[in-house]
Amino acid sequence: MAKHETPLLDQLESGPWPSFVSDLKQEAEKRAKNEKGLDLQIPVDVVEDLLGILELSYKHGKTHWKHGGIVGVFGYGGGVIGRYCDQPEMFPGVAHFHTIRVAQPAGKFYSTEYLRQLCNLWDFRGSGITNMHGSTGDIILIGTTTPQLEEVFYEMSHNMNQDLGGSGSNLRTPADCIGQARCEYACYDTQAICHDLTVEYQDELHRPAFPYKFKFKFDGCPNCCVASIARSDMSFIGTWKDDIRIDAEAVKAYVGGEIKSNGGAHAGRDWGAFDIQKEVVGLCPTGCMKYENGTLSINNKECTRCMHCINVMPRALRIGNDRGCSILVGAKAPILDGAQMGSLLVPFVEVNPEDEYQAIKDVIESIWDWWMEEGKNRERLGELIKRQGFQRLLEAVGIEAMPQHVQEPRSNPYIFWKEDEVEGGWERDIDEFRKDHKR
């Protein structure tokens, strides 16, 4: 018998899709039974009370959670998000219900042993409710009391080799695609750099001094599996400078139907014979491919590395050999101002683990210097770029404007020069001038 009646939540279970309400009920039951005989450190009925307070919010049409808090673990200004409910008498199990962000491993590789350890800890010291993974990338542990925070942190940091993630005005937990571990498209080792920068920027991750949140995300190629281009203040997208490698034999095999296009991903339905002209050449966004007399050729100077042809014929077409990444800046998906995609700042940079990614760190740090000084409170990098202009960004990071920065032909006829860009500056010698120009 449930502790609280929840007719409105029950209704949510009636749809055809999996329901978080069913999941929560299952967890509530599991805690009540406590088959492992754990010495539960937070109220046994925490999940029941969570369902109860959510039902009440639905009934009232307003939230019963307060927002924010001063809780955390010692020395860290992030990783814990304090949550309190405003009906603690009615729902004592969720009087405090803090969220812990746990830094996910690069590429999200776990061992089952690790996951078991984490879940056991969370059953024992928290609500047992997890979110794998939040849109932040982190493992999210949802709901515990203030006294458990240090305990959970101690266990993770001393016995699980595990750190908390970022929250608040910090560097957020860097996130990356699975990269070279599984994927032939990866132009650099996303996991290695993600890990390196996470370790390098520990202070930025845990001690908030930024105007607002700041995110790095790493995609091994322009397929953008972690959607870095839309979701991170600095997005690192793998690319190459030389030519797409073509295996002419394999092209023939695709055309002849011996190899299924898209790795067989569309095999669920008969789409007819593979048509290289229509499905590859005709869909190239820059029109830089040709298929003539059984030979496929690419004008690589015009190719934008969109990945389409490679995705369709992965065994015939492969990424080039001269690899690195592009850096884009300023993406955000905020509530108030509308989403914004990243803008290209560095078309190509080497991703070099030998010198610990120095070229990339130089760009990062000059951007932080600029944003920390010029950014308003709660202003994301993308908003600062919009407010002060891309030109200011280029000056701040010491990069010259180049054709790749240009999105479209300009529509504004004015050019605003700065004094130091004009020979002789704004001063003139009137006598010199009068020699050639009468009054």
Residue 288 engages ligand SF4 in binding (rule: CB under 6 A): yes
CB of residue 167 vs ligand HEM: minimum separation in angstroms?
Answer: 6
Total binding residues for ligand HEM by CB under 6 A?
Answer: 19
Distance (Å, whole) CA 207 – CA 203: 6
Q: What's the alpha-carbon Rg for the chain, to the nearest Å?
A: 28
Relative to beta strand 245-246, strand 139-142 is unpaired
Q: What part of residues 210-229 is at the interface with other proteins (CB under 8 A)?
A: 210-213
- Segment contacting other proteins (CB under 8 A): 64-72, 235-243, 292-300, 409-417? 64-72
Residue 219 binding result from ligand HEM, other proteins, ligand SF4, none, given CB thresholds of 5 to 8 Å by partner type: ligand SF4
Relative to beta strand 295-298, strand 216-219 is unpaired
**85 versus 393: smaller Cβ distance to ligand HEM:** 85
Concatenating the DSSP letter of every residue in 371-419 gives HHHHPPTT--HHHHHHHH-HHHHHHHHT----GGG--S----------G
Per-residue mark of binding to ligand SF4, 177-216 (x: CB under 6 A): xxx---x-xx------------------------------
Residue 1 engages ligand HEM in binding (rule: CB under 6 A): no
Per-residue mark of binding to ligand HEM, 150-169 (x: CB under 6 A): -----------------x--
Distance (Å, whole) CA 105 – CA 117: 15
The DSSP secondary-structure symbol of 15 reads: S
Residue 220 binding result from other proteins, ligand HEM, ligand SF4, none, given CB thresholds of 5 to 8 Å by partner type: ligand SF4
DSSP H helices in 88-145: 112-125
CB atoms near residue 116 (< 10 Å): 11
Distance (Å, whole) CA 146 – CA 95: 10
Concatenating the DSSP letter of every residue in 286-328 gives T--EEEETTEEEE-TTT-----HHHHH-TTTEE--SSEEEEEE
CB atoms near residue 297 (< 10 Å): 13
**145 versus 223: smaller Cβ distance to other proteins:** 145
Q: Which of 25, 31, 83, 308 binds ligand HEM (CB under 6 A)?
A: 83
In the complex, the residues that contact ligand HEM under the rule CB under 6 A are 54, 63, 65, 67, 81, 83, 97, 99, 101, 131, 134-136, 138, 140, 142-143, 167, 335
The contact set with other proteins (CB under 8 A) reads: 66-72, 75, 77-78, 80-82, 84, 96, 99, 146, 167-170, 203, 207-213, 368-369, 372-373, 377-378
